[in-house]
Amino acid sequence: MRRMTARPGNAHQARLLKLLRDGGPNSRAQLGDQVDLSRSKLAVEVDRLLETGLVVADGLAASRGGRRSHNIRLNPELRFLGVDIGATSVDVAVTNAELETLGHINHPMDVREGPVAVFEQVLAMAAKLRASGLAEGFDGAGIGVPGPVRFPEGIPVAPPIMPGWDGFPVREALSQELGCPVMVDNDVNLMAMGEQHAGVARTVPDFLCVKIGTGIGCGIVVGGEVYRGTTGSAGDIGHIQAVPDGRPCACGNRGCLEAHFSGAALARDALEAAQQGLSAELASRLETNGDLTAVDVAAAAAAGDATALELIREGGNRTGQVIAGLVSFFNPGLVVIGGGVTGLGHTLLAAIRTQVYRQSLPLATGNLPIVLGELGPAAGVIGAARLISDHLFSPA
């Protein structure tokens, strides 16, 4: 199949495409109920979309009491690629135009190996998905990277944990390799978009999405749109001071949140506890695996290990303290907690909630849900697909 290159010709068409993406197949009449256009105008715009091939007719819809209508849907052959480059692994998924995940694979990989090695891996994974018959090609791709991005150009800027990526033209390079439009964003922003599109944040215009993985970041959504800040580094909360004169951090300061709680910090604390003989559970795991990660701490906590629980609780308290400040400042309608350490689950959530509800004013917390993300590792790739579809479904 020849890949689609068309874009909506005006705002109405863009609106219709997004309705079909978010609501699935629809009849002309149902669309008409949602867009406040005259039937004639609607018919004209739908016909134009059919001509471009972006949408196709799809049989007859059920009768609503009169003549049955013809269904319209986004071209089922359209394919988006969602790529989520994490600090220690890469997720790649294929979706259709309705952003349903058709295939999703994960591969461990250290982002510090640099853009060339990582993209080789990404392209191999994309090829694998294509080979398995899920796609013949891609109409667009969204890429998430674990650091700040100059969004319009799709270029990472001064990413602390991605040496070698600074200034690398990710968007340009991947667009060339994949032969399709590409958009690049911070992985945390994509997680927020994922949860907004298909997760817990579907109906909330203003919310925060805190991702706790190797590092800590926060996606900020204002009025339904991701807010990226003046230089693209908004949401970089890992280096907010959580403990005055606390632990030294890689950034050069002391007491950063990330130095006290994150996947990396948790692993280090667990190792220390195991070596000091504070936890039999962790020590035995250390012996078995030769190393400890956040996953081991989660498992130990699930097994009732007091030391592991305490580590999680203390980390949750620190994180909750920082989030409490952000809640006072930003007054969100929802806080989503996600990322690798969500395996820590409700112990972590409870600690965070306690701090936030205690430290922020009632007006801001009164009706504020603090919840775990619904989509897990899929949030990033769904958000990536959403990013590129938002781009392609906007007037050129």
Partner DNA sequence: GCGCCTTTGTCCTCTGAGTGGAAAAAGTAG
Partner DNA sequence: CTACTTTTTCCACTCAGAGGACAAAGGCGC
Residues at the interface with a second copy (CB under 8 A):
148, 157-158, 160, 206, 218, 220, 222, 227-237, 239-241, 244, 251, 253, 321-322, 324-326, 328-333, 358-364, 366-368
Q: How far apart are CA 213 and CA 217, in angstroms?
A: 8
Bridge-based pairing state of the strands 26-27 and 70-74: antiparallel
- Whichever of 240 and 299 has its CB closer to a second copy, that residue is 240
Between 18 and 47, how does the x/- string for binding to DNA read (CB under 7 A)? ---------xxxx------xxxxx-x----
Angle at 217 between CA 373 and CA 391, to 5 degrees: 75
For 218, list phi and psi in degrees, rounded to 5.
Answer: -145, 120
For 264, list phi and psi in degrees, rounded to 5.
Answer: -65, -45
- Whichever of 106 and 328 has its CB closer to a second copy, that residue is 328
Contacts of 51 (CB under 8 A, 6+ apart): none
The least distance separating a second copy from the CB of residue 213, rounded to whole angstroms, comes to 18
User: By CB neighbour count within 10 A (0-12 exposed, 13-18 middle, 19+ buried), where does 9 fall?
Assistant: middle
- Whichever of 65 and 362 has its CB closer to DNA, that residue is 65
Longest Cα separation, the chain: 76
- Binding-site member from 65, 108, 133, 366 for DNA (CB under 7 A): 65
What sign does the CA torsion over 343, 345, 351, 357 have? positive
Please, are residues 83 and 92 in contact by the beta-carbon 8 Å criterion?
yes
| 35 membership: H or E segment, kind and range | helix 28-35
Q: How far apart are CA 16 and CA 165, in angstroms?
A: 38
Paired tokens of 383: 């958000």
27 binds, among a second copy, DNA, none (CB under 5 to 8 A by kind): DNA
Paired tokens of 217: 């970041």
- Binding-site member from 63, 203, 288, 367 for DNA (CB under 7 A): 63
The least distance separating a second copy from the CB of residue 231, rounded to whole angstroms, comes to 6
- Whichever of 6 and 357 has its CB closer to a second copy, that residue is 357
80 binds, among DNA, a second copy, none (CB under 5 to 8 A by kind): none
The least distance separating DNA from the CB of residue 394, rounded to whole angstroms, comes to 16
- Whichever of 134 and 158 has its CB closer to a second copy, that residue is 158
Q: How far apart are CA 386 and CA 185, in angstroms?
A: 11
Please, are residues 82 and 141 in contact by the beta-carbon 8 Å criterion?
yes
- Binding-site member from 5, 64, 152, 306 for DNA (CB under 7 A): 64
232 binds, among a second copy, DNA, none (CB under 5 to 8 A by kind): a second copy
- Whichever of 38 and 288 has its CB closer to DNA, that residue is 38
35 binds, among a second copy, DNA, none (CB under 5 to 8 A by kind): none
The least distance separating DNA from the CB of residue 25, rounded to whole angstroms, comes to 12
- Whichever of 41 and 202 has its CB closer to DNA, that residue is 41
Residues that bind DNA (CB under 7 A): 10, 12, 27-30, 37-41, 43, 60, 63-70
